[in-house]
Structure 1
Amino acid sequence: MKITQISVFIENESGRLHEVTGLLGNNNINIRALSLADTSDFGILRLIVNEPDKAYRLLRENEFTVGRTEVLAVEVPDNPGGLAGVLGTLSKASINVEYMYALVERSTDSAVMIFRFDDTSKAVDVLTASGYKLMKGEQIYEI
């Protein structure tokens, strides 16, 4: 149920984002979801890709500062209050959301959100016990 996210630290300068995406694209690695947070000096590009191990290796070989993190892909009801319901469940269990971002592809009648938690294993237990569907890595990588 846990999914590997690749995080790339890149300088906040013209062309650096293109270098990362070009390297991945030229090696047939498809980006499934992404988030970019920046400061004045650098950015953190978070990626869900179809081949996370290959992407990690390629980025390291090309001298990017890269890390791997476990995240969850959660199907969230695609209606008003759907996300609030998931967040309420997590709040009641004292699970902190460190960050989250949306996945572009839709799954059935739900939106898909990528979450990073302070306690991922506890989040898995709480969310599944509350009836939320967690997507497997293979499902996300093949979108």
Structure 2
Amino acid sequence: MKVQQISIFLENKSGRLATLTHTLSEEKINIRALSIADTTDFGILRLIVDRPDEAYLALKKAGFTVSETSVIALEVPDHPGGLASIMEIMAGAEINIEYLYALPEKKTDNALVIFRVEKIDKAIEVLKNNGIVVLTGDKVYGL
């Protein structure tokens, strides 16, 4: 039920993101979702890709500072209050959400949201027990 996310430390310099995406392109690795947080000097790019292990190795080889993180991907009802219901479940179980971001999904009436939480195994159990669809890595990589 865990999804592997690739995180890359990027200097805030012209061309770094182009080099990174070119590296993935050369390896025929497809980006499924991304999030970037930046400051004046650097950014953290978080990626969900179709082949995370290969992406990690290719980016390391290209000289990027890379790490892998386990996250969870949830089907969130795509209507007002859909995300709030997930937040309430996690708050009730005292699960802290470090960050989240959405990825596009056109095949269902749900939004797909990536969550980084402190207690990932507990979160998966609590969410599944509350009828929330927690997607497998293979499902997310194949979108």
TM-score tier by shorter-chain length is: over 0.9
Task: State the match for 1:80 in structure 2.
Answer: 80
How far, CA to CA, are the matches of 1:132 and 1:106 in structure 2?
Answer: 19
Equivalent residue runs for 1:26-65 within 5 Å: 26-65=26-65
Task: State the match for 1:23 in structure 2.
Answer: 23
Could you give the per-residue CA deviations for residues 71-112 of structure 1, whole angstroms, max 9, x where no partner exists?
Answer: 000000011000000000000000010000001123422100
One-letter amino acid of the structure 2 residue matched with residue 137 of structure 1: G
Indicate the SS of the match to 2:104. Answer: strand
Q: Is the 8 A contact 1:7 1:45 kept in 2?
A: yes
Task: State the match for 1:70 in structure 2.
Answer: 70
Classify 1:72/1:107 alpha carbon distance in 2 versus 1 (closer, same or farther; 3 Å): farther
How far, CA to CA, are the matches of 2:106 and 2:79 in structure 1?
Answer: 13
Task: State the match for 2:13 in structure 1.
Answer: 13
Q: Which moved more, 1:106-115 or 1:131-140?
A: 106-115
Could you give the per-residue CA deviations for residues 87-142 of structure 1, whole angstroms, max 9, x where no partner exists?
Answer: 00000000010000001123422100000001101100110001000111111111
Which consecutive segments of 4 or more residues in structure 1 shift more than 3 A? none
One-letter amino acid of the structure 1 residue matched with residue 91 of structure 2: S
How far, CA to CA, are the matches of 2:97 and 2:106 in structure 1?
Answer: 22
Task: State the match for 1:90 in structure 2.
Answer: 90
Task: State the match for 2:138 in structure 1.
Answer: 138
Q: Is the 8 A contact 1:74 1:135 kept in 2?
A: yes
Please report the TM-score for the alignment, with normalisation by the length of structure 2: 0.98
Identity over the aligned pairs, expressed in percent? 52
One-letter amino acid of the structure 1 residue matched with residue 130 of structure 2: S
One-letter amino acid of the structure 1 residue matched with residue 62 of structure 2: N
How far, CA to CA, are the matches of 2:127 and 2:77 in structure 1?
Answer: 13
Indicate the SS of the match to 1:132. Answer: coil
Please report the TM-score for the alignment, with normalisation by the length of structure 1: 0.98
Where in structure 2 are there 5+ consecutive unaligned residues? none
One-letter amino acid of the structure 2 residue matched with residue 37 of structure 1: A
Where in structure 1 are there 5+ consecutive unaligned residues? none
- The RMSD of aligned alpha carbons is 0.7
Task: State the match for 1:103 in structure 2.
Answer: 103
